[in-house]
Chains A and B, each alone.
Chain A
Amino acid sequence: MSLCMTDVTPQVAEDPTSQTRPPAPRVKVIVMHTPGADLDAALATVRRQVYEGVATVEVVGEPDVEKPEDVVLRANVAAAIAQSGPEIDYLWLVHSDARPRPDALSALVSEVERANASLGGSKVLVAGTKGELESIGSATDVFGTPFSGLDDGEIDLQQYDVVREVAFVSSVSMLVRRDLAQGLGGVDTNLRPGAAGQDFSQRVRLAGGRVVIVPSSEVFHQGRCGATPGWRDQAGRYRAMLKAYRLVTLAWVIPFGLMVGLIDSIANLIFLRWRPLVRFVAATGWNLAYLPSTLLARRRFRKVRAVGDEELFRFQARGSIRLRELGTDLGDRLLFMFDEDHALVRSTRRIWSSPGIWGALLAGIIAFLSARSFFFVGVPNTGFSLPFEAPTVALSRFLGGWNEAGLGSAAAVHPSVGLTGLLSLIWFGHEGAARTLITLGFALMGVVGMGRLAGRLGFRGPGRYLAGLVLLAGPGTALAAGSGSWLAIGGAAILPWSIRSLYVPGADVEKGLLGRLGWAVLWSLLLAAFSPALVVVPLVFAGVSAALGWKRASLPLVAASLLGVVAAAGFLMDDPGWILDDQRRFGLGVSVLWPVLLMVATVPPLLMPGKTGRLVFMGALLSLAGIFGANAGLAGPGVEEAALILASFGAALLVAIVLDAFGRTPMQVLATLSAIAMLLLSMGTLGDGRLGLPAGDDNARFAFASTLAGEGGPGRILLISEIRSEIPGEARRGPGFWYRTLDGIGSTLDEAWLPPPGPGDEKLDIALSRIATGAELRPGTLLAEFSVDWVDISGGPSQLERTLASQLDLTPIPLDPGSSVFENPAALPLVTDGMEIWGRDGTGFAGDATADRVRISMNYDPDWHPASGPADWATTVSAETGWARYRPTGLNRVLPLVAAGLLLASLVVIVVGRTRQ
């Protein structure tokens, strides 16, 4: 054991009173070997310690090199502790990947002695850095989660250099009284070093000892023992907790701990991090498996416990550190949406110098106020803004279920039905709350998306977020939203994200392609779900951008962005009129003021040098093209909706750039004023607090159908008006009026668009033509086969209303002074065999099984089961099974599955991409 004595120069030797000084405490060095660590080097650093009291050096573990002869090898730490004789005062436990400074041990001993502590730990620095701190002693929360208080990469500037009590010290280098270590039974060999140190520290404290950090003892740590905490560390902390706390503490710590673990796991899943959940499950399972051993260790420790849990609480942080970190993470992510350059995250002192913060803050507040009514009365149920169906029904309808709009059709429903169903399902099945949140999300996404897109295109000014308001309520979206198109707001909010996903920041061209592909596909799927015709806009943007010599989008990403069309392929193929039929469009026209403002804002930047002009040109080009497309009215409502959104998007892009390039020349001032005018015009339409959506609740308006329904259920409502906007969703062109049928139980989003008319729809049209002439004295009888239980005529006095004043079998119901409501007592139930009435069951129907056939008042389709057959235009199925289901075939079955698979694949790719990064 002359090993250390020969090489070290005792620090105390310089003491002029060395003749009378007491002998240095005897220290046994226990080097805990870590596979991969250089043991020889570790031993060398131990030998260089300037401390005269080193008695022996022992190595714990299985070294991969031949140990020196003067070093004793022990199987584990417990054995090394147990084999320490009374001549030993202290044990210095040090990792083999630690490189203590020569005075580390002497500092530890002197400070532990001076502080009358039982356990002291060194200041641990990251090896190979310029003094990056790894540990200066840690606190924990009540659940054992460690908290160092250090920032990532924090440099040691001696800012923590004071001897103080801590909850626990790093096991990389710690000095412990030999008698206490042996009394506590040594460290827990079932635990990993980190957790073992924490466990040991806690027990030391509860045994009446003091645990101190000794900053003057510096150790460089190579981190080969595993810097990344794994599930075993978490399991070890749980075990330490179970061993240390009294029962009364455990009674509340355990359930709260489980709850915290669950919340942490689920929240991390949202952030696409799966490991916390796995760790939580594995750590819990491990502790269950080791519960007998834990209980035994707990019983042993009871004999040496000297103080209560309060002694531990003194050094614990309040609340849950994991939840706090989760909150911080969430906050960072939210802030990052507005603050791409991390000014907020880096330093609050620099918040207000971040260029986008002011604009983001203002835009966020305005967007929030623009959606204020949703907090009080929810999202309006009028126009094309209709409530979601129950999530499972909506999903099954999207995945090839029956389209019930009109008199029913096998045509695919609008893809938004599937997405909203999925989001409702994620939101615990509460479709109403999900709808409100999604709509609020639109406001936030629109503002943030526009800011982030402009940021990616190289603009950092405050106007880029404010431009998001133009996107949400600019020349086109304001019109679309005003006509009740909830989906248009969604499409507008997603568009900038989809375009942004095509552009890779210059520094990251080579990185993360996989994840970016996933994002490009995901955004395009979302875009297609809300506004299918918009899917081509990112491609157009990339094309125009490249043609103008601006930024080039990544070709693989552009290609990936077209995959989103799969989500809407079925809908578009089954109902091409949605794209092509100009008689189905909204018929909205953008005010002439907008093109003028656009031109005034565009010309000055175009005449100035620099690349800004190109993007301004592109914004104006897109906006004017959108306005032209919408005003020309040459295509169907899908194209019209996309053109209106494009008009707003282009204007928003223009506003973002012009406000960013604010200058003092007259031309620049003119452009800026024009941009501000566009911004103010947009904000004006947001003043109603409904994001521009019209007010009203059509389901409340038509609630009479359910309230007054008889045994056959509310059936259908036939809505008739000379004013198209009086009818929720799409309306068919009738003889002298608009009309459509709606579900009497309340209309939902899947009914917004009417599929191409089937034979039943055509027959209904003929019936209405006859009724409209006034020649039909019994219109109720004529409408009975369509299960029209109610006729609602709104929009003021009309010829039809006068005609129906002189008929015999529609009973006027004086419900609403604004409309004429008639009940049709002759209406057939929606599904009946003549005796029994069947009810809804998902997207199908169910009822009592009989030997007859049931008639379903839906257009005939052979894919109804069981044993479908036609009854004139309607469908009949066998009633023997007691159920009737529609089972799609062909593309109607395949395409939704492909879209769902693509969505899942994009998410997986994103997760994998993030993991790789």
Chain B
Amino acid sequence: MAPPEDLEDLDPGRARERTGLAWTRTAIAFGAVGAAVLKTNIAAGLTVVGLSVVIWTVSRFFPDPAGSDVRPRQLLLVTMTVVAVALVALAVVLLGHPSSGVHAPKG
């Protein structure tokens, strides 16, 4: 099979590649939030880091949003994941021990 003459035919405007990168950035953002939460609450932090793996997996195993009416369920999953992270953060903030901050003055 001859390769396509123009890459544009395969991926117009490199839209597919840019969207893949956007998914990667989103998964990395989850990982960063998870690392931040790890500092204060190990269980919650590990959960959020696990969610970043879920986001990454969603983008890897369902790689083609073109055609049909794009994966609303996967996007809803991402939305619910962010909401879950927000709820975990609220619980940590409201129910956790009051923190003295990372640079609290001594004495």
A and B are partners in one complex rather than unrelated chains: no
Q: Which residues of B contact A (CB under 8 A)?
A: none
